[in-house]
Amino acid sequence: MRTLKLTIAYDGTAYAGWQLQPGKPTVQGLLECALKKITGRRAPTLASGRTDAGVHALGQVVGVRTDCLLPPETLLKALNAHLPRDIAVLEAVDAPDGFHPIRDVLRKRYRYVIHDGSVRDVFCRRTAWHDARGRLDVEAMRRAAAPLVGRHDFRSFQSSGAPRKTTVRTVFELSIDRGRAGQGGGPSLSDRHDHTAALSAFSDSFILIDIAADGFLYNMVRAIVGTLAQVGRGRKPESWPGEALEAADRRRAGPTAPPQGLFLVHVDYAPGSNP
């Protein structure tokens, strides 16, 4: 048996999320089906984390336990030939001994894209949250976001239904930038990261919210975005997100933003876990 480390991208629009669910199309279901066709037997997969229905990935990491002896590059090509066009394997390598795609995560990076133009963008309807209620105040959102950076109890930004041992997480970065016409705006975190930067930077009616942390609670990015958007609209004061954080109560923060604006951009592993 060996463990392969796959880096995959997917357009989550058509899927009920990453995780296997009976009778529903999921990314894990399609990937395991392709693996079975290629290797002839079931090869269980484990992702760095689940993504919800409609959420996208530019660099999800998946561990695969298999006794298949194909070279990783051959397996990559075979998988891409068997997977639907909205899922792609970007990289396949042999994982180091004992690699665990969840336990070994050092940091994850998400991007959320908001479109606040008055008319919808026909090419970004699956990859951005269109809020036509008016232009958001990005400067106010940025100031409001500052207290969320650092090591905190993020209980106020967690949806119920997924109990965790601890709700303390460390947010390393939380940047909010408005796109600029003709330029891939926003700070570059990685090559893959630039995809949505470029995709959403064609006009200044796109806002890019980038969050890097050592881990995320269930719906944490979308709850933070939904809260910051209330500030951007002028419905809540800039102090509100920080106060909601301190309250450690989900009811004190804003609504959960919709899934289609969210991208899992990159997963960093501890040096020993990188092949």
The first and second tokens of residue 50, run together, are 């689940």
175 binds a second copy (CB under 8 A): no
Catalytic residue among 52, 116, 131, 210: 52
**CB nearer a second copy, residue 33 or residue 132:** 132
Judge whether 10 and 86 are in contact, CB under 8 Å: yes
Residues with Cβ within 8 Å of residue 257, at least 6 apart in sequence: 112, 114, 129, 222, 223, 225, 226, 229
**CB nearer a second copy, residue 64 or residue 228:** 64
**How many residues bind to a second copy according to rule CB under 8 A?**
36
125 binds a second copy (CB under 8 A): yes
> Rounded to the nearest whole angstrom, what is the least distance from the CB of residue 126 to a second copy in the complex?
8
**CB nearer a second copy, residue 121 or residue 137:** 121
Among 69, 119, 165, 251, the residue binding a second copy under the rule CB under 8 A is 119
Secondary-structure percent of the chain, ordered helix, strand, coil, rounded to 5: 30, 30, 45
List binders of a second copy among 197-236 (CB under 8 A): 197-203
Q: Is-catalytic flag, 268?
A: no
153 binds a second copy (CB under 8 A): no
111 binds a second copy (CB under 8 A): no
**CB nearer a second copy, residue 5 or residue 155:** 5
List binders of a second copy among 62-81 (CB under 8 A): 76, 80
> Rounded to the nearest whole angstrom, what is the least distance from the CB of residue 1 to a second copy in the complex?
26
Give the C-alpha separation, 101 to 63, whole Å.
Answer: 6
What are the Cα distances from residue 91, in Å, to 16, 31, 75? Answer: 24, 14, 10
What are the Cα distances from residue 98, in Å, to 76, 95, 145, 243, 269? Answer: 22, 8, 37, 41, 13
Residues with Cβ within 8 Å of residue 14, at least 6 apart in sequence: 25, 84, 86
- Angle subtended at Cα 152 by Cα 268 and Cα 171, rounded to the nearest 5 degrees: 30
The binding site for a second copy (CB under 8 A) comprises: 9-11, 56, 76, 80, 85-90, 119-123, 125, 127, 179, 181-184, 188, 191, 194-203
